[in-house]
Amino acid sequence: MELIDPAPTSKAPASLFTGDVYVNPIKTKAEPSRLIASTVRFTPGARTHWHSHALGQTLFCTDGAGLVVDRKGTVIRLTPGDTVWTPPGEEHWHGAGVDCMMCHIAMLEGTADGDGTTWLEPVTDEEYARADKA
């Protein structure tokens, strides 16, 4: 058993996120475990770019209100206590609501060569607004 010191907060890169997003790693991939987990805090209107995960992703909302959206236009509204599973390869994005911060714990299994995330294009303001109104 081991107590792990908390990792410092870092700002998520603008190349993968729109708006101000802050990340605190909880667990990094360390063999034999492939679990990767982070607390991710989104300011109002902030969001990921479109992306997918080779082995899927679980999101657990801890605070605020947010959105998870797939390419089919399915919108799931997140509130504290909600859990969303995105299956392997499903292109999606997630982020905060227009006027509220949102925090979630993001959990996924890494792959042999990394975290298995494929990052795609930014979510446009129009895509975001359409999802928020849905």
Helix (H) or strand (E) holding 21: strand 21-27
pLDDT of residue 114: 83
Extract the tokens encoding 104: 């979630």
Helix (H) or strand (E) holding 131: helix 125-133
Please, which pLDDT band fits residue 134 given cuts at 50, 70 and 90? confident
Q: Whole-number mean pLDDT of the chain?
A: 96
Encoded amino acid at 74, one letter? T
Please, which pLDDT band fits residue 30 given cuts at 50, 70 and 90? confident
Q: 68-122 pLDDT, tens per residue? A: 999 999 999 999 999 999 999 999 999 999 999 999 999 999 888 888 999 999 9
Q: Which residues pair with 23 in a beta bridge?
A: 10, 40
pLDDT of residue 6: 87
